[in-house]
Chain A
Amino acid sequence: MLFSVVSVVVLLFSALLALIFNRSALKTSAVGASGAVIASLTGLIPVVKTLIVPARETLSLPCSLPVGSFSFVLDPLAAFFLVPVFILTAAAALYGVDYLKQFDGKKPLGLAWAMFNVLSASMVVVILSADAVPFLIGWEAMAAASFALVIFEHEKSQVRKAGIIYLVAGGAGALFLLAMFALFGIGSDSLAFSSFTRPAGGLASVAFLCAIMGFGLKAGFVPLHIWLPEAHPAAPSHVSAVMSGVMIKMGIYGLMRALHFLTPWQPWWGWLLITIGVVSGLLGVIFALAQHDLKRLLAYSSIENIGIITLGLGIGVLGVVKAIYPLAALGFAGALLHVVNHALFKGLLFMGAGAVLHAAGTAELEALGGLSKKMPRTAVYFLVGAAAIAGLPPLNGFVSEFFICFGAFTALRAPIQTATGAVLTIAVMAAIGTLASACFAKAFGAVFLGKSRSLKCAAVHEAGPWMGFAMGVLAAACVFIGFASPLLVAPLSAAIACGFGPRLGLEFSAAAGIPLLYISAGALTLAAVLALITVFRKFLLRGRKPAAGPTWDCGYAAPSARMQYGASSFVQPLTDFFQPMLRTQRHYSGLKGFFPAGADFHTEANSVFYNHLYAPAANLIKRLAFRYSWLQHGRLQLYILYIVVALIALLVCKL
C-alpha cells in the first residue's frame, strides 16, 4: 500500500512539475513521462505482490469530513484492475514523448502532461478507494482530466463538440453514481464501502439501475455510448489509448464493486447485463465496420469490447443466480481478463493509429494505404493488435473470449432459461468475433496494405523510437498472454474470489486450468508449425530469386492506386446488410448531361443514437425552456404578480 501511495504522489508531483516547466517542451515531457513511468513501476510492486499472494491491505488517511472518509484498500480485484492501468499509462507516457513533439512550439505542453498524470493518478485512486467520497473525487478528477485532454486541440470545432458531449455525459453519469452511493449509504451515517447496507427490495434494483447508468455512461454501454466515438478521436492518441484502454474500464470496475454491495442478485439483472452486452457488442462492431476514420473505428470497437465484457459479467451474474457456478466463474473470468486484454490491444491500436495520424496527417481510411512499406514496425505492431482484438489465437484476445464462450458451453445442459442465455451468448460471440475480424481486416488493409491512395502517404515516416518502444511493449504483452495463459489462473482466481466470493475462485481454477494448458500447447504447436513451414519454404526457394511484377490486373491496362477497393467497399456487403441499424447516409451527386464534370459519392455513418435519440430529447428540453422563457418577460407587473399568486396559493393551500 505504501508503494501505491508513493506512486500516486509521484504522479501528482510530476504533474505539478510539468506545469511549472510549461515553457520548455523538452523538460515538461521529460518530467511528465518519467513521473508516469516511475509511478507505474513503483505502483506495480504491491499490485503484483497482492496478485501472487492474495492479501488485503488497507489505509486510512486522517482527514475529517462531514461525510465520508479517506480510506483505501488494495485487494486482488483492485490489483487486477491496477495492472493494465499502470502498464498502459507508462507505455502511453513514453509514447506521448514522441507524439506530442508535433505540437512543440504551437502549444504549451505542460497542461497536457499534468492532466495526463492526474488522469493516471485519479484512476489509481478510483480503484483503491474504499469509501464513496474518495471514489467520487477520483472519478470526477478522472473525468475532468480526461476532458482537459480531449479538448487539447480545442481550436477545432469538432473537438469542442466532442468536449461538450463528453462533459455532459460525465456529469450525468456522476449524478447517477451519487444517487447509487446515497442509496447504499441509506442505513448508515458513513459512506465507507464496509459500512454499506444492502438496500432492500425495489431500492436494490433502483441502485442497480443507477449503477448501470452511472458506470455504463463511463464504460460506453449502448445507448449511453455517444460520447465515446466523439471524444476518443478528438484526444491526442496516447490519451485515446489510455481512455479507451483503461479509463472506460473504470465503469466495469465500479459495476463489479457495486454488484458486491447488492447481493442477493436478481435474475433480471443478469438478463439486463446480457442484453446490454449483446446490444453493445453487436452494434459496437457494426458501427465500427462502417467508420471511415481509423480512430472513430477504434472507438466504436471499444464499445464492442465493453459489450463482450458486459456479456461475460451478465452470464456471471446469471450463473450465480441460477447456481451454475462454472458459468459464473468463467463469465467473470472472461470479463476480467478481457478488461486487461482490451487495455493492451486497444492501447496498442490507438497508438498505431496515432503513429499513422502523426505520419500521414490523416486517419481517414480512404486516403491511406500501403503504409506497411514505409512504417514496417508500426505495421507489425498494429497487426498484432488487430489479430488480438479479432480474438484470433495464439494472442491474448482469444483467451478471454474463450472463457466467455466456454462458460456458455458449460451451461448448455442447464435448465432451459439459462441455456437460452448460453446459446445467445455463443451465437453473439461468434458473430462479434467474425465481424471484428472483418472490421480489423478492413482497418489494417486500408491503412497498411495495397498501394497508397493519396499523396499524403508519400512523405510518411516511421514512428519515433519511444512510440515504437511503447507499442512494442504492448504487442509483446499481447503475445505473452496468448502463449502463457496458464500463468493467469492464479491471479484471476484470486481476483474472482475477492470480487465474487471464494467459491467462484475455486470453481474457476477447476474449470479453466486444463483447457488453458491445452490452449497454450496449441499456441506453441501453431508457432512451431509456422516455423516449420517457413523453413520448408526457405528450403524450397533456396538459390532461387523470386521474380517481381505488377499485380495481376485481369487484363486492365492502366490501373491506378485510386482504383483499389476502398475500405467502405470492402465492408459494403455487410454494411448494406446492417443498414437498418446503421442508417448510413448516402450523398450522391450523379453524372449529369453528355459531358459530365465530376461525380461524388460518399457515405456518412452518423451516430444513430445521437441523431435519433439524444438530439431530439435535447431539442425537446430546449424548446420547453424556450417556451417558458416568457416567464422572465421583463415586466415588473408580471413579476409582482408571481409573488401575489404564490402567496395566495400558499395561504389557500397551507393555512
Chain B
Amino acid sequence: MSDSQTAVHVLKHHFRDMEQQNETSSFGMWVFLVTEIMFFGGLFCAYLIYRILYFDSFAAASSTIDVKWGAINTVVLICSSLTMALAVHAAQLGKRKVLVGFLIATIMLGGVFLGIKAKEYHDKFVEHHVPGPSFHFEVEPEMAEKFHAIDPAKTEIFFSLYFLMTGLHATHMVIGFGLLTWLVIAGSKGKYSPIYYSPVEMVGLYWHFVDIVWIWLFPLLYLISRHH
C-alpha cells in the first residue's frame, strides 16, 4: 500500500493529523507509566520503611539470596532493553525483517530472565524461605556474627516483600511478552511503517519501564551490605 493510503487508513477519526495522533498516544503512554511508578512505589515505600525498622533481619535474609544470578539477570534485562530500542529504531525506518528479528530477540532475553528468576524461586523454595506455614529461617553463625539483631520472624517480612516485588515485576514481564508477540504478528504482516509505528514505540516504553523497575530491585533486594 502506498504511504498515503496507510496514513488515511491508520489516522483515527477524531485526530486532526498523524502528528497529533502520535504525540497523544505517547503522552498517554507516559501518563500510564506514571501510574505504574506509583503502583510499584507503594511497594517500594513499604519495603523502605520495613528495611529501616528491621535492618539486620533484612540484611541477613538478603545474604541468603545468590547475588550472582541477580547480576546476570540485570545484564540480561539491559540487553533486552537494547534489542527493544533497536526494534523501535527498525520500525522507524520501516525495515520489517530487522524489526521482527529484534522483537524476537527481546522475547528470548525476557525468557532467559524469567528462567533465571524461576531458578531463584526454586532455590528459595528448597531453602524453606517462601513465606507461609513452611517458612523456616536458619541463622548461620557467620550471619549472626555480622548482623547481631537477626529476628527470624522479620526475615519472613523481607521474603514476603521479595516475592511480592519480584512477582509483580515478573507479571509485568509476562504482560510484556503478550504485547511483544502481538507486535511480532502485526509486524511480520507489515502493518508498521515509518508513518505508523506508535504501537511498537508504546511497547518499547513499557518494556524500558519494566527494565527500570528491575534496575531498582537489584540493588534494593540483593545488595544489602554484601561487604565482609
The answer to whether A and B belong to the same complex is no
Please report B residues at the A interface, Cβ cutoff 8 Å. none
